[in-house]
Structure 1
Amino acid sequence: MNVLEAIATRRSIRKFTSEAVSEETIETLLKAAMAAPSAGNEQPWQFIVIDDKAVLEKTAKLSPYISMAAKSPLSIMVMGDREVEKYPGNWMLDCSAAIQNLLLAAHSEGLGAVWCGLWPEEDRVAAARELVNAPQNVIPLAVIVLGHPDQDLKPQDRFDASRVRKNTW
């Protein structure tokens, strides 16, 4: 699938089969995520691959919007590492670019995925950090819940010309 097709047809999938995602596919997704641009090439991301059912069930309780993690075979927590930042505050932008790459790679591999935010909700960030035993300099940004899709959502054209201006407001 070419990149424009992937962008146009990717949807947030929240229902998954129980089929496991292969280690090879997980590595492909992480390579795609780590190919993202970052400020000063700082690459401040850290990833926690979660495939243990007990940990997935705990992940599902981090936020009311991550409940589908309990029934998924895989989640990837994306975190920003402030110790490697060259330009403070850009970790969130950099990790968001990595997440978008990961989502598109998952779609191109025939997987479904949904981006579930943690940051900036401090209670969710703290609970996620505790769940994966992350150090204080690492900030949990989001959980990407993944798996083989058990729903078929049709693409939507979201282009809205009223949101576009030329040269000035």
Structure 2
Amino acid sequence: MNEVLKVIKERRSIRKFKSDMIPKEIIDKVIESGLYAASGKGQQSPIIISVTNKELRDKLSRMNCKIGGWKEDFDPFYNAPVVLVILAPKDWPTFVYDGSLVIGNMMLAAHTLNIGSCWIHRAKQEFESEEGKEILKSLGIEGEYEGIGHCILGYVDGDYPNVIARKPNRVYYAD
């Protein structure tokens, strides 16, 4: 089977990570794959914030937890030590799609590098908040960006999830 198709079929979302930090070189390879995602008119408009600073990572986790309505001690990043935040400019017509493709590419790349990943939602609400806007400002990010999602990364803690069968009747042909 073609290696790309194999990776697409095997990759699963991980929800239990070891706290061990991933080497920067591996994080950079995952990020690079996101930078090569397709984008509307080739504009390459999404941006990626690589969060490996534990204090900021934990702050984002608390914000995300509050938005999700969970108990204070729940970690919606499942102990993953790396959070890649994807944002895109609100004034670009395909910003949500472009940012989504970035996350998809990064999750596939992580799998090929034996790194677990998962898309975590609620970045939109995080970065609409005053606290989120302050984070962007502190990083020197200016402009009107919307949070698309988080791609969390880490070493899998436990068994890798099995591939489940695909649901039937999801494809229609109009030959």
What range describes the TM-score normalised by the shorter chain of this pair?
Answer: 0.7 to 0.9
Q: Helix, strand or coil: the match of 1:162?
A: coil
Residue in 2 that maps onto 1:143? 150
Name which of 118, 122, 128 aligns with 2:122: 118
Aligned residues with identical type, % of pairs = 23
> Normalised by the size of structure 2, how large is the TM-score?
0.82
Task: Provide closer, same or farther for how the CA distance between residues 20 and 43 of structure 1 changes in structure 2, counting only shifts above 3 A.
Answer: same
Runs of 4+ with >4 A deviation? none
How far 1:30 moved relative to its partner? 1.1
Q: Helix, strand or coil: the match of 1:14?
A: coil
Equivalent residues, number: 162
How far 1:130 moved relative to its partner? 3.3
Q: Contact 1:59–1:69 at 8 Å: present in 2 too?
A: no
Q: Contact 1:75–1:146 at 8 Å: present in 2 too?
A: yes
Residue in 1 that maps onto 2:48? 47
Q: Contact 1:9–1:154 at 8 Å: present in 2 too?
A: no
Uncovered stretches (5+) of structure 1, i.e. residues with no partner: none
Q: Helix, strand or coil: the match of 2:149?
A: strand
Task: Provide closer, same or farther for how the CA distance between residues 15 and 162 of structure 1 changes in structure 2, counting only shifts above 3 A.
Answer: same
How far 1:7 moved relative to its partner? 1.1
Looking at structure 1, the residues matched to 44 and 85 of structure 2 have their Cα atoms a distance apart, in angstroms, of 16
Name which of 104, 108, 111 aligns with 1:107: 111
Q: Which moved more, 1:123-132 or 1:107-116?
A: 123-132
Task: Provide closer, same or farther for how the CA distance between residues 13 and 129 of structure 1 changes in structure 2, counting only shifts above 3 A.
Answer: farther
Amino acid of the residue matched to residue 127 of structure 2?
V
Task: Provide closer, same or farther for how the CA distance between residues 129 and 53 of structure 1 changes in structure 2, counting only shifts above 3 A.
Answer: same
Residue in 2 that maps onto 1:71? 79
